[in-house]
Amino acid sequence: MENQVSEKVNCLIIGSGPAGYTAAIYASRANLKPVLYQGIQPGGQLTITTEVENYPGYPDGIQGPEMMVNFEKQAARMGADIRYGLATKVDFSSHPLKVQIDEEKWIEANSVIISTGASAKWLGIPSEQRLNGFGVSACAVCDGFFFKGKEVAIVGAGDTAAEEALYLSKLCSTVHMIVRRDQMRASKVMQDRVINTDNIKVYWNSETDDIIGEKKVEAVKIKNNQTKEFSTIPVSAFFVAIGHEPNSSIFKGWIDMDETGYIKTIPGTAKTNILGVFAAGDVQDKNYRQAVTAAGSGCMAALDAERYLGEQGLH
């Protein structure tokens, strides 16, 4: 095979959010000598969050980026080899498992922990990326505070969108919620809350045509799919809440996934369908998606990897 292997490791961790770093802490303490590649967004989604108030042990809350620096420092102190780099390809056809880094270097690993997380989905209109960070955001909880007392728009129809619309309704004067169909996907209780909140205005059967503004968001232009009419709503911010996409594409064809690309693990474990490959965090969790659940599953993955390596006589 033409893949020239340049390094051999016992435990390779791909990704560096709460799941990856927790796996690194446990794997280091178990003397598995883990090597962790941080991926495209070192620290994961928490690095684009502001205040984290729901992680146990921080009574006054903590900033997301600071928290991830602490996770990384702790993993490094335990002896994890933390590196900057991106896994770009895998070959799980035989053991040891093979992973390509930055499209050039191949690593051979006795065990692999996948903790590549998930990324927010975008609508894909040009103005959305142009104004990203200037009023366009995929995280209402992170950025809603900056638009206190102002009018904002949110697009989406699931539980997350409903949750974020309700969150924004407590801060903003009016929340304009754009829903593509004539109903929401959100659970009944969440829908009822949205409908019964006076300052949330729902636009049914509507799609975002454009986000207006040169330097910052000034308005959103929407199209009604039934009447075909366009309308422009003046807003200071535009929040995208149409779901997340697991960062799992390089594992397609090797690892079992659901129809949306979330990695399937054997219930109660971090094991995948391939021996020696484990998955933790948001790449395999579309239900909870919290820092604390990701960290917990990172711990599970490291303990599962330790047991597996022990059984194989590799530890």
The CATH number covering residue 64 comes to 3.50.50.60
**Catalytic-role residue among 142, 209, 210, 299:** 142
- What is the rounded distance in angstroms from the CA atom of residue 153 to the CA atom of residue 136? 10
pLDDT of residue 126: 92
Q: Are residues 18 and 113 in the same domain?
A: yes
CA dihedral over 11, 12, 14, 16, signed as positive or negative: positive
138-187 pLDDT tens trace: 888 778 888 999 999 999 999 889 989 999 999 999 999 999 999 999 98
Is the domain of 11 the same as that of 111?
Answer: yes
Task: Please count the structural domains in the chain.
Answer: 2
Instruction: Point out the domain boundary residue: 224, 240, 256.
Output: 240
Indicate if 18 and 84 belong to the same structural domain: yes
- Measured between alpha carbons, how far is residue 18 from residues 71, 128, 132, 307 in Å? 7, 28, 25, 21
Last residue of some domain: 213, 240, 267? Answer: 240
Is 198 labeled as catalytic in the residue annotation? no
Instruction: Based on the fold, state whether residues 55 and 198 are members of the same structural domain.
Output: no
List 11, 81, 102, 143, catalytic entry: 143
The residue from 204, 223, 240 where one domain ends is 240
> Do 89 and 102 belong to one domain?
yes
Range of the domain at 212: 122-240
Catalytic residue among 81, 91, 139, 159: 139
142 is catalytic: yes
Q: Is 172 among the catalytic positions?
A: no
Q: Strand 97-101 relative to strand 105-114: parallel, antiparallel, unpaired?
A: antiparallel
Name the pTM for this structure: 0.81
φ/ψ of 134, rounded to 5, equals -120, 40
